[in-house]
Amino acid sequence: MKIVVGLGNPGAQYEKTRHNIGWMVLDRLADRAGWNGKGRTRDASAIVQGRFRGLDLVLVKPLTFMNESGLAVRKVLAREHAPLVEMLVVCDDFALPFGKLRFREGGSAGGHNGLRSIIEELGNEQFSRLRVGIGEPGRDAIDHVLSQFARGEKTRLSELLDAAADAVEAWARDGTNKAANHFNAFELRPADDDRSAPPGAIDGPPGSDGIRRTRTGWRKSKPPEGGE
């Protein structure tokens, strides 16, 4: 059993903010598995679990607010009798450019309050995490993480969530090191205004069928997350 924890804040006002990208990645995984609407609330978390593509997964979204994420994580680990090696935490990182992915086995919180809470509650920092780049703040860090994505980012957010969901699957199947070897080098396609590749090329625009070729495979284009 693999436990995937996505960090975020509950409440409609936080739903589409940068700080909640961990929840967005888990929602994308649940959508792939057909688990949307099938979860339940327990251990201070929204939890859905099942078998998907040969993987036994527990998807966990703590409902304690970011700064107390560790309380929920401790409860889930205790219920599942799961060792830390079986857990991955997915969170935002404003030290990474928007669209970058970074796996890491263990380490400090790096200024992330959700990770800090988990480390303090467990008394251990030896768990894997997948950091998803949300871009460096051009203003106050708190204002940045609690803001919504910019227009050019929204047009690419769905592709980023697909890549991050692919990364989580790779971790569950092959472990952190192998997943890191592949996805730490991932680069999201340029914004539409900066893209010069023709249709059918990697990172080019979608063809007439709405399908775009990306670095991790062919993707059906979706409307921007959050709309405009």
Task: State pLDDT tens for residues 140-199.
Answer: 888 999 999 999 999 999 999 999 999 999 999 999 999 999 999 998 988 865 555 676
Alpha-carbon distance 71 to 103, whole Å? 23
Q: Which of 19, 81, 144, 182 is catalytic?
A: 19
Residues 6+ apart with CB under 8 A from 209: none
- Domains with residue ranges and CATH for the chain: 2-192 (3.40.50.1470)
19 is catalytic: yes
Check if the beta carbon of residue 188 is closer than 8 Å to that of residue 159. yes
Check if the beta carbon of residue 186 is closer than 8 Å to that of residue 200. no
- 108 is written with which tokens? 């400090």
For the segment 68-112, what is each residue's pLDDT rounded down to a tens digit? Answer: 999 999 999 999 999 999 999 999 999 999 999 999 999 999 999
- 171 is written with which tokens? 């971790």
Check if the beta carbon of residue 66 is closer than 8 Å to that of residue 19. yes
For the segment 200-217, what is each residue's pLDDT rounded down to a tens digit? Answer: 777 666 777 778 777 667
